[in-house]
Structure 1
């Protein structure tokens, strides 16, 4: 079983992300160490692809983190319905960076280079160095522009850094970019490890300039973060867990602390902590990893916690991304204490069902997993950048989309691109819940040897205004034991 085949695909039950909660963001897969990139009013979250590990008897084991060589990407315009874009193959023989063995804790940035959009993904090759990939879109295709690590032990100013990992990137208003990274605690120095670093990136975004400078972060452990708010630069990080005496001005173990400056390279002033360890809020601890970003007029923090792992009752170490609000004190610019919870943030806008929606767009789900299509499996999409991911549903499973706006006139028809992998079934469209008002049904024949994609259609009645929409797969009435299974690539409604 892999990250795209979670146990709920077998159990056919809602788990982890429970309605009406917004956290964790998705429940069909894990995703740790989130980093946010906002582009065209959409936030893309890049996450370490935690994978379930098993022993010889196929029993889940505690996460060792040693086999992670991919980065997961999800995105959203409304912060409730998330599109799964699958995994970036980063490290290893099949990855873009064949020289690397792992890909942990990504960071992403966007720049206009020679008048064209370019996107950059920085990642940690375990704790031994930092690499970079580039792409023409936020979801790829990704390539390695330099064929080697960007930051290594030979980089000026990093000789005393225990862990060369956990990058963060800032592109300032003047287009000068900066890379933040580092972590670890030298022996005997828990109070002032001095292992956090910042250095300039070259104009090409794939080179570094000068020497890395020390960020004197008290009780530094890992997870550099950077953002700029009202001309103040905020360096954020996770404090270490060493059980030593700490005064009231020092960060407690495993919390997100921050420093401020009027310049992206410092000098820095320590300000305090903003987010307690996940164990304080969810009853299961572990490391604390975050990213702070703006969308619209509001600021948010993405962080991970082992809530899905806990709900699945499996060994620890598998993290899921959450969102909560970030607020600032008006006069001082200090960040207010952040409250982490399952409720999460409010949905920013309703979902428009009258444009093509990816089948891997999910608000809540039960018994659903996602999988990547091979190139020859994909249908011709009307989208300029088709998503290579589809959702897989089994009998009894469902996908729910939050706050779908059908308008006052309502919808007249529904069309989906799908493929049958099992017996005959029915894709029911319901409002409000999985057994709510039935507005249409797509009849799906049993799978044939040709394995062709089909255009499933149904007329729609009773869909107007704003509702939660449920796509529910059931066995055909005349084939109660048919065990249907489908791949859902995309869908759309037509206006009445």
Structure 2
């Protein structure tokens, strides 16, 4: 009888333990399910890109505008006005009146979808004599010292245009003049706002600069667009300042050199098109982008109006109506246009006029210099090369984030690290190529107390791997991946948290 009671007790205990185990498993599964459902919902509510296939805007954690771009060593580098600096000063209820902007934003990509944030160019520190920094334009040239030199021109408020130089696309930058390169003290610069510079170097290695804006003298030909040849040093002027008779010119001068021809683009005004002498060319849309061409750019009569080729983003229903500023450029044999739209205002809870840079692929007939109408979209450009997850990737390289992710500068110029918070944040990288090999480990260079959970494909289920850090010094940690993933191209999501936690770079290992 005693053995029967013992056996019955043992069976009951086993059954009870089994019940507890099943209940715990169900509870953990429920917690995991709720956690992941909430995680997806949380991130979807604060990012327009994290759960979509959209490539625009390029950066979704800050406001940027007035872009320029240049190709260098297999990457395209984009520079922009830092609208976010104004937003940080005035808050969600404030207006973007630009007066607090004294930095420029740097970013780059090798695939047009995953963008590396290189931080800010602090013009207030570099050129303390200047007022503001808006609307950059960049070019580069291999010089006699064997180095590629970068020349970055920008609007010093509305009073002139300044220039910075560097031998790296991400700096450090220098102010070589200590004054504007063009302003109203220069003969021929008889416009109210000699700003919004556009630079190009022609096939002879000669630099050219366009600029202008301010109160128009007439509506049809406002008489406030200008061009000048630059000196051999790219920081002096080597010709008289000439006029460009741009119909309904407003601002946002830009310059290209295509097939032996200067191509001038600009933002048209908001004025009614009451005069229009071209019977074979439609009137330009309001606050859109038009272009003109010339073989002899210092001769005003040589400029020929060609067409309107990019409408206002409000016209294309990509955010509300705003001003317009573009740059036409090539990257890996294709033409693109960089521009800005008000993509992110709703996600930041503001209506203050804060802008973000986007990019679209363009078709350009180089032989006949015809540029068909482009169109602003949320979708943006296609990914032109896959991301290699088996080489070191920077934490500041993202295709989307959980919202207002924070980065800080560290070490060399242009190097940033991701900063943790007490709350979870997320970084998305698109088009990671696992089609040939399956990873066995994940590693990251980290510091502080925090955690990184790694997901692939989406944010559902349990993490592929988790990395925990608790140290005051930079260290590289790795963890084995405990479940198999398919050989395919997928998105990668890094969910991280930790108030004093930062991480610099990551990669998967075979």
Q: CA–CA distance in 1 between the matches of 2:86 and 2:93?
A: 6
Alpha-carbon deviations, 1:39-74, whole Å to 9, x = none?
Answer: 112111110001365799965311110011100001
Q: Deviations over 1:344-384 (max 9, x none)?
A: 1100100112222111000111045233235xxx5xxxxxx
Change (3 A) 1:299 1:263: farther
Q: Pick one of 413, 422, 433 that aligns with 1:405.
A: 433
Aligned counterpart for 1:205 among listed residues 223, 226, 234: 234
Q: CA deviation at 1:101?
A: 1.2
Structure 1 residues 177-196: Cα deviation after superposition (integer angstroms, max 9, x where no partner): 11111112334x11111211
Highest Rg: 1 or 2?
A: 2
Matched residue count: 456
Cα distance, 1:270 vs structure 2: 0.4
Q: TM-score, normalised by structure 2?
A: 0.84
Which residues of 2 match residues 60-71 of structure 1 at below 5 A?
Answer: 60-71=93-104
Query: Would the alpha carbon gap of residues 57 and 96 (structure 1) be closer, same or farther in structure 2, given more than 3 Å must change?
Result: closer
In the superposition, relative to structure 1, how do residues 54 and 404 fare at CA in structure 2: closer, same or farther (>3 Å)?
Answer: closer
Asked if 1 retains the 8 angstrom alpha-carbon contact of 2:139 and 2:151, the reply is: yes
Partner of 1:96: 126
Partner of 1:312: 348
* Cα separation, 2, equivalents of 1:220 and 1:293: 21
Residue 28 and residue 57 in structure 1: after superposition, are their counterparts in 2 closer, same or farther (change >3 A)?
A: closer
> For the Cα contact (< 8 Å) 1:236–1:257, is it kept in 2?
yes
Name the CA shift for 1:205/1:364 in 2 (closer, same or farther; >3 Å).
Answer: same
Per the alignment, residue 174 of structure 1 pairs with 204
Give 1:152 deviation, angstroms: 1.9
Q: Deviations 1:194-226 (Å, cap 9, x if unpaired)?
A: 211111111111111121111110000000111
Q: Secondary structure at the match of 1:453?
A: strand
More strand by share: 1
Q: Which residue of 2 aligns with 1:462?
A: 484
Residue of structure 2 in register with 1:342 after alignment: 378
Q: Kindly tell me: are residues 418 and 198 of structure 1, through their superposed partners in 2, closer, same or farther at Cα, counting changes over 3 Å? A: same
Query: SS of 1:409's equivalent?
Result: coil
Q: Secondary structure at the match of 1:51?
A: helix
Give yes or no for contact 1:54–1:60 (8 Å, CA) kept in 2: no
Deviation at 1:107, TM superposition (A): 0.8
- Asked if residue 237 in structure 1 is aligned to residue 266 in structure 2, the reply is yes
Tell me if the contact between 1:259 and 1:269 (Cα under 8 Å) persists in the aligned partners. Answer: yes
- Give the Cα–Cα distance (whole angstroms) in 1 for the partners of residues 266 and 287 of structure 2: 10
CA distance in 2, matches of 1:49, 1:235: 25
- Say if 1:54 and 1:320 are closer, same or farther in 2 by CA, change over 3 A: closer
Q: CA contact under 8 A between 1:81 and 1:362: conserved in structure 2? A: yes
2:29 corresponds in structure 1 to none
> 2:224 and 2:351 mapped to 1: Cα distance?
31
Change over 3 Å in CA distance of 1:218–1:57 after alignment to 2: closer
For the aligned residue pairs, the C-alpha RMSD in angstroms reads 2.3
TM-score if structure 1 supplies the norm length? Answer: 0.86
Q: Is the 8 A contact 2:433 2:488 kept in 1?
A: yes
| Counterparts of 1:58 and 1:324, CA distance in 2 | 30
- CA 1:54/1:269 → structure 2, altered by over 3 Å: closer, same or farther? closer
1:149 counterpart (174, 180, 185): 180
Which deviations, in whole Å up to 9, do the C-alpha atoms of 1:238-290 show, x marking residues without a partner?
00112452447432320101112234545211012111111112240110010
Q: Does 1:444 align with 2:476?
A: no
